[in-house]
């Protein structure tokens, strides 16, 4: 069903540099602010990283971690994967999307493509396939780098594509998790970076992102009482969780399906 805006609804005040609300089923935009402005996307990047893995691999596949990530300075958050540790693709995806681990992104990229550089090429090829005309990737983590950018609209469309995968939907809802190497010797425990999980709104996760250049960003999936899914994208906000919550609450009160 097509969402209908109720008369008298006043658009919310949003301090974020860019923001968007989208109806997941139809792709109809319910609210937008600077939707086509190219901006750094921080760890929202990892949505694309997850898509390439989910589209190509079984969760049961076993990955052997090739690198000693203790020697890498620029990884952002990490779960401290050990060199030569064996761990399943499914568990690595949990480590990628729940705590947003940079070492996991690197391990998955190398497993999938043989090198990080080749993986980035595949990320950009997928962006082209999905017609994300204002998106370009330079790394699989979301580190600040010249030419690494996206927009609120492109990120909403990217997330909408990812949500077609049931495993993606399941993983991004996890408030916390523990994953282990296949021999049980290494365990990694962590909590979700999404502070809105478990609140009064029916928030079903997705992804946060923070860097110096990107600021504080978050994409949230929420479900209305009649089962309609709404995407909230908030980029470079002084209060990303509050603004995402306010936008979602506004959409629930301002639209009928």
Confidence bin at 169 (pLDDT 50/70/90) = very high
| In the chain, % of residues over pLDDT 90 | 88
Which pLDDT value is given to residue 158? Answer: 98
Catalytic (active site) residue 189: no
**Domains of the chain and CATH, by start:** 4-256 (3.40.710.10)
Q: Kindly tell me the sign of the dihedral angle through the C-alpha atoms of 23, 28, 30, 34.
A: positive
With tokens 């399941």, the residue in question is: 170
38 burial type by CB count under 10 A (0-12 exposed, 13-18 middle, 19+ buried) = middle
Task: Exactly one of 18, 100, 237, 251 is catalytic; name it.
Answer: 100
The tens digit of pLDDT for each residue in 180-199 reads 999 999 999 999 999 999 88
pLDDT at 224: 93
The full DSSP string for the chain is ---EEPTT--PPP--SSEEEEEETTT--EEEEESTT--B--GGGGHHHHHHHHHHH--TT-EEEP-S-GGG-S--SS---PPTT-EEEHHHHHHHHHSS--HHHHHHHHHHHHSSHHHHHHHHHHHHHHTT-TT-B-S-SS----TT-BB-HHHHHHHHHHHTTSHHHHHHHT-SEEEEE-TTSS-EEEEE-S-TTTTSSS-EEEEEEEEETTTEEEEEEEEE-TTS-EEEEEEES-TTHHHHHHHHHHHHHHHEE-
Report the chain's mean pLDDT, rounded to a whole number: 95
- Known active-site residue 46: yes
pLDDT at 5: 86
pLDDT bracket for residue 107 (50, 70, 90): very high
Mean pLDDT, to the nearest integer, of 243-254?
95
> For this structure, is 56 an active site residue?
no
45, two tokens:
């990047």
- Residue 236's nearest CA partner among 33, 28, 22 is 33
Which two three-digit tokens encode residue 133? 């005309």
Catalytic residue among 33, 46, 110, 245: 46
In this prediction, residue 256 carries a pLDDT of: 87
The fraction of the chain above a pLDDT of 70, given in percent, is 100
Q: What is the pLDDT of residue 68?
A: 87
- Determine which one of 15, 18, 33, 43 is catalytic: 43
The 8 Å CB, 24+ separation contacts for 186-193 are 186/81, 186/82, 186/85, 186/87, 188/79, 188/80, 188/81, 188/95, 190/79, 190/95, 190/98, 190/99, 190/101, 191/98, 191/99, 192/98, 192/99, 193/77, 193/98, 193/99, 193/100
State pLDDT tens for residues 3-20.
888 877 888 899 999 999
Distance CA 97, CA 142 (A): 13
Rounded CA Rg of the chain: 18
Q: What is the arithmetic mean of pLDDT over 75-104? A: 95
For the segment 54-81, what is each residue's pLDDT rounded down to a tens digit? 999 999 999 999 998 877 777 788 999 9
254 pLDDT band, cuts 50/70/90, is very high
């Amino acid at each position: 069903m097509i969402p209908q805006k109720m008369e008298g609804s006043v658009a919310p005040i949003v301090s974020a540099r860019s923001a968007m609300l989208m109806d997941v089923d139809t792709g109809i935009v319910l609210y937008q602010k600077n939707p086509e402005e190219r901006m750094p996307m921080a760890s929202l990047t990892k949505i694309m990283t997850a898509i390439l893995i989910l589209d190509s691999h079984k969760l049961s596949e076993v990955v052997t971690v090739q690198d000693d990530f203790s020697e890498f300075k620029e990884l952002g958050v990490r779960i401290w994967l050990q060199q030569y540790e064996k761990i399943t693709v499914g568990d690595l995806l949990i480590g990628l999307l729940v705590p947003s681990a940079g070492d996991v992104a690197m391990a998955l990229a190398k497993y999938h493509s043989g090198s990080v550089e080749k993986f980035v090429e595949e990320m950009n090829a997928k962006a082209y396939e999905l017609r994300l005309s204002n998106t370009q990737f330079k790394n699989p983590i979301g580190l600040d780098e010249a030419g690494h950018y996206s927009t609120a609209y492109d990120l909403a469309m990217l997330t909408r594509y990812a949500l077609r995968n049931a495993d993606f939907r399941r993983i991004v809802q996890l408030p916390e998790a523990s994953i282990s190497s296949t021999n049980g010797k290494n365990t990694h425990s962590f909590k979700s970076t999404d502070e809105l999980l478990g609140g009064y709104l029916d928030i079903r996760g997705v992804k946060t992102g923070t860097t110096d250049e990107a600021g504080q960003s978050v994409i949230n999936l929420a479900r209305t009482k009649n089962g309609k899914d709404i995407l909230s994208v908030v980029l470079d906000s002084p209060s990303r969780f509050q603004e995402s919550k306010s936008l979602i609450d506004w959409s629930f009160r301002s639209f009928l399906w």
